[in-house]
Structure 1
Amino acid sequence: VMGFIKAEKPQFDVSYAVHGESTLAINGMYVEADFRRAGVGSLLLASLAREAAAADKEIVSVDCETTNPEAYGFWSRWFEPVAWALERRV
């Protein structure tokens, strides 16, 4: 296994900012370190997009942490930002 991607109906959390019956929310993706930057993530995402279209989904969303620069670099190539989440630690 080189990696995986999983998605489901948006849950009531950060990903809920983009929700609806026609939305599929990515809630996990991982590519083994030896296979990163080889197109595996892009292939996984393309496969998921085809499955989403076949299931009559119009939107695929993902929640990405800006504190994870590698993931943010990947997701920002394929997705447009639509919401910002803020937190304050006390």
Structure 2
Amino acid sequence: MPDVNQMAAGGLADRMMGPPQGEQAVDPAIVEQFRGHLAEALKIITSDPNVMGAVVQDIQGFVMTIKQFAEMGAGGGQPPQGPPQG
């Protein structure tokens, strides 16, 4: 199993090196706190297949919502109609 702390860090370590122009740097203490919280969450999520399935569904829903907002912002048109596809 991969190191949970490495997984939790994701791109945050890169952000500490230098934020994108116009953004503030991420405080290393916040990154460490986030790693701890995410590591605990991952332990809970991966301990039960039912929990993992529910989390995956939630993430898929979040992704669809983000895609819809991105399409609305980029196209400036009407929001997608009907239930999310996926």
TM-score relative to the length of structure 2? 0.28
TM-score relative to the length of structure 1? 0.27
Q: Which has the larger radius of gyration?
A: 2
Greater relative CO (CA pairs within 8 A, separation 6+): 1
- Structure with the higher fraction of residues in helix conformation: 2
